[in-house]
């Protein structure tokens, strides 16, 4: 799996906007590593070979820096032992890791990469450093493929249209899904990986498509919602009123619903909002008629999971099970 996935798996991220795919080979980048239990400033370096014999170039950064974090495709067990002894932190694409600073101690050993590595220079360049599969635009493509199975057989242009991205972005994401072992050459999900992809997409959602910066906050009454001459999609707990008594509304619309906001008397509220508005980033192949519609199940699931509310998370798991049962039939 890619380094970006391993960062997500371990609950790690950089405070700075760093794309792991852009890390220069054998050069140091200063960055702050963030974990829920703390943060630390590191000299971060990528190397295609994580062995002591191949890391002579890192001697300077190691001597001059209190913290050195090495990233790469694979660390050998022998080199991992030496890194730990020297207190050099590392993380490889299989998930082997030693990361230790105040409040954080991560030590993962013995993991091996699965699947055949990509062959050829062009393949190595495409996956080096672990391209973030869940950047906002790529996440839109992943969302579309997970939400509408028929898109797996559709032309790339249709995938791009539904996902709301360019043709090039759709093609790149599909190729990455193949390289990372999610799709086969016939553009079918490989056995057992679809559920993992849903988990990864949902984990990335709060910091990406569902981030605070992409959300407008309001307060007001949303009972008996009528959309007028536009279409809006409800999500979160408001999308499952038969299961939960909704206290909040997550609303997606293609255009900012000014008329709706004025008609309902909603007012901006960053302190105690109960209505959250976001841009509708997808475009269904069969556009819905005007009115209030329920968002695709994966989006409802992600919004419920992102709420940190135990009630909503329980319902989210039921939605997930229902989707699994539907696929089994």
What average pLDDT is seen over the chain? 83
Burial of 258 by CB count in 10 Å (0-12 exposed, 13-18 middle, 19+ buried)?
exposed
CA quadruple 232, 291, 302, 168: dihedral sign = negative
Give the count of beta carbons closer than 10 Å to the beta carbon of residue 80: 22
Phi/psi at 240 (nearest 5 deg)? Answer: -130, 55
| Strand-pair partners of 39 | 34
Of the listed ranges 100-109, 251-260, 269-278, the least confidently predicted one is 100-109
For the ranges 12-16, 108-112, 234-238, 250-254, which has the lowest average pLDDT?
A: 108-112
Average pLDDT of the residues in 36-50? 84
Helices of type H across the chain: 3-9, 59-64, 77-85, 121-127, 136-147, 156-163, 167-179, 194-204, 258-264, 297-306, 310-328
What percent of the chain stands above pLDDT 70?
85
Strand, coil or helix: what is 268? strand
The answer, yes or no, to whether residue 197 has pLDDT greater than 80, is yes
Mean pLDDT of 248-253: 95
Q: Does domain 3-108 have CATH number 3.40.1350?
A: yes
Helix (H, G, I), strand (E, B) or coil at 104: strand
Q: How far is CA 22 from each of CA 126, 131, 150, rounded to the nearest angstrom?
A: 11, 8, 34
**What are the structure tokens assigned to 142, written together?**
């992943």
- Taking only the tens place, the pLDDT of each residue in 113-157 is 654 333 333 333 233 344 678 889 999 999 999 999 899 999 999
């Amino acid at each position: 799996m890619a380094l970006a996935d391993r960062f997500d798996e371990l609950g790690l991220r950089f405070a700075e906007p760093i794309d792991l795919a852009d890390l220069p080979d054998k050069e140091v980048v200063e960055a702050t590593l963030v974990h829920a239990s703390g943060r630390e400033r590191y000299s971060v370096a990528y190397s295609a070979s994580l062995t002591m014999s191949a890391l002579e170039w890192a001697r300077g950064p190691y001597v001059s820096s209190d913290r050195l974090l090495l990233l790469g495709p694979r660390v050998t067990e022998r080199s991992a032992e030496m890194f730990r002894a020297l207190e050099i932190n590392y993380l490889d694409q299989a998930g082997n890791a030693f990361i230790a600073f105040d409040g954080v101690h991560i030590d993962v050993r013995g993991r091996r990469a699965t699947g055949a590595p990509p062959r050829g220079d062009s393949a190595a360049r495409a996956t080096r450093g672990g391209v973030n599969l869940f950047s906002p635009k790529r996440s839109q493509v992943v969302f579309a493929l997970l939400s509408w199975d028929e898109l797996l057989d559709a032309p790339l242009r249709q995938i791009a249209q539904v996902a709301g991205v360019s043709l090039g972005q759709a093609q790149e994401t599909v190729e990455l899904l193949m390289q990372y072992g999610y799709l086969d050459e016939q553009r079918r999900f490989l056995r057992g990986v679809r559920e993992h992809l849903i988990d990864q997409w949902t984990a990335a959602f709060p910091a990406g498509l569902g981030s605070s910066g992409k959300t407008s906050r309001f307060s007001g009454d949303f009972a008996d919602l009528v959309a007028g001459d536009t279409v809006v999609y409800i999500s979160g707990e408001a999308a499952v009123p038969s299961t939960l008594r909704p206290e909040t509304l997550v609303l997606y619309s293609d255009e900012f619903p000014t008329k709706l906001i004025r008609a309902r008397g909603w007012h901006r509220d960053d302190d105690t909002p109960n209505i959250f508005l976001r841009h509708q980033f997808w475009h269904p192949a069969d556009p819905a008629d005007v009115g209030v519609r329920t968002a695709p199940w994966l989006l409802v699931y992600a919004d419920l999971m992102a709420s940190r509310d135990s009630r909503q998370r329980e319902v989210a798991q039921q939605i997930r099970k229902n989707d699994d049962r539907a696929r089994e039939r």
